Amino acid sequence: MSNRTFDRRTDLAKRYSLYSLFKQYYQGDWELARKAATAIQQYEPVNDNLSSQQDQNLDAAALFEYNRLFVGPGKLLAPPYESAYRNAQGLVMQEETLLVRQFYLQAGIEVSNKNAIPDDHLGLEFEFICYLLSREGERLQADDSSTANRYAALYQEFCQQHILSWVYQHCDDILAHGKTGLCRDTAISLVRFLQREEANFLSKEEFV
């Protein structure tokens, strides 16, 4: 196994685990989200150590803020839906959501609770990416690099067409409304990670 594929696999593994942590963070359950957020800090430390000390009541505030930003029941301050940023009033199940549904279908995937949870929920979009990366990793293991490259291309296309078109704005909303360290740090880490991915796409242009 040439060291180039080896580096690619370890890099892929790191990105894969980061994406699965973000997926866990966005799937709405606070306990999982909190664990994911602290784990993310190991991978993408936001080094201003001021916000790293977490005491108990700060933790409760983080929970309420997490719900105010992403869950409800009032108007979401940073709605984790692509359509919230792509159509003026953030209506779900519109054209944007259905574009994401078609993309999933292209890769043979659909939302299990179809038409109940909008397809463009960030938790689901990250899960789709985890699936693509895992397929790429598995194909690399099986030394079938041509299929692996195609999964990588599909991932890049999905990232550029969907994730990068709104998640930065979504993170801005978090930073604008979020006060507690936890949600803010996760948003900063997400932005940094996606920026690296984006840079990665550009440099990969010549590579593929």
Partner 1 sequence: MKQKSVVSRRTFLKGAAATVATVSFGGTFFDFLFSGLSPAVAAETNIAELFRSACPRNCYDTCAILSTVQDGVLKKVEGDPASTYTRGTLCAKGFSYTRSVYSPDRIKYPMRQIGRGSGNWQRISWDEAYTEIAQNMLRLKREYGSTLPICLNKYSGNFDIMHYGIEGMLTSIGNTTRATGTPCWPAGIDAQTFDFGTIVCNDPEDIVNSKYLIIWGANPAWCSVHSMYFVKEAQQRGCKIVVIDPILTQTASKADLYIQIKSSTDGALALGMARYILDHNLYDGEWLAKNSKGAEEFFSYLKNNITLEWAAEKTGIPKHIIEMLAREYATTKPANIWIGYGMQRHTNGGQNVRAIDALAAVTGNIGKSGGGAQYAQLETWGFKYHAMSQTKPVNSGGKEDRAININNFGAEVLNAQDPPIKMLWIACRGPMTQDPETAVVKKAFEGMDLVVTADLFMTPTVEMSDIVLPVTTAFETPGVNVSYWHYWMSLNEQAIKPMYESKNDITIAMELSAKLNELKQGSCTFPTSGDLQEWVGKEFSEGIYKQFGIQDWKELKKGPVKAKGSLIAWQDNKFRTPSGKYELWSAEAEKYGHFPLPVYVEEMQSTEQYPLRCITPHWKLSIHSQFQNLDWMAAVNNEPHIEIHPKVAAKYHIKDNDAVKMFNDIGYITLPAKITETVSPDVVAVYETWYKNKNFNVNYTVKAIPADMGKKATGAPGIAFHDNFVAIQKV
Partner 2 sequence: MAKKIGFLVNSDRCIGCHACELACKNEYQQEPEIRWRKVYPLKEDSFGRVARGFASLACNHCEDPACLKACPVIAYTKREDGIVMHSKERCIGCKNCMLACPYKVPEFNKKTKKVEKCHMCAMRQDKGEKPACVAGCPMEAISVIDIADDVAGAERSLPGFPNAAITNPTTRFIKPVVGRQVRRDA
Footprint on this chain of partner 2 (rule: CB under 8 A):
87-89, 94
Residue 93 touches partner 1, criterion: CB under 8 A: yes
In the bound state with partner 1, the residue whose beta carbon lies nearer, of 42 and 112, is: 112
Q: Which of partner 1, partner 2, none has residue 200 at its interface (CB below 5 to 8 Å by kind)?
A: none
Q: How far apart are CA 116 and CA 152, in angstroms?
A: 29
Residue 131 touches partner 1, criterion: CB under 8 A: yes
Kind and range of the H or E run holding 200: helix 181-207
In this structure, what token pair is assigned to residue 36?
A: 């994911």
| Cβ–Cβ < 8 Å for 120, 100 | yes
Kind and range of the H or E run holding 106: helix 95-106
User: In the bound complex, what is the minimum distance in angstroms from residue 142's beta carbon to partner 1?
Assistant: 5
Footprint on residues 135-164 left by partner 1 (CB under 8 A): 135, 137-138, 141-144, 147, 150
Residue 111 touches partner 1, criterion: CB under 8 A: yes
Number of residues that bind partner 1 (CB under 8 A): 64
In terms of phi and psi (left: phi > 0; alpha: psi -120 to 50; beta: otherwise), the region of 55 is beta
Which residues, in sequence order, are CB contacts of 33 under 8 Å at separation 6+?
24, 25, 26, 27, 66
| Cβ–Cβ < 8 Å for 93, 118 | yes
User: In the bound complex, what is the minimum distance in angstroms from residue 204's beta carbon to partner 1?
Assistant: 19
Residues at the contact surface with partner 1, assessed by CB under 8 A: 1, 13, 16-17, 20, 27-30, 60, 63-64, 67-68, 71-76, 79, 81, 84, 89-94, 98, 101-102, 104-117, 121, 123-124, 127-128, 130-131, 133-135, 137-138, 141-144, 147, 150
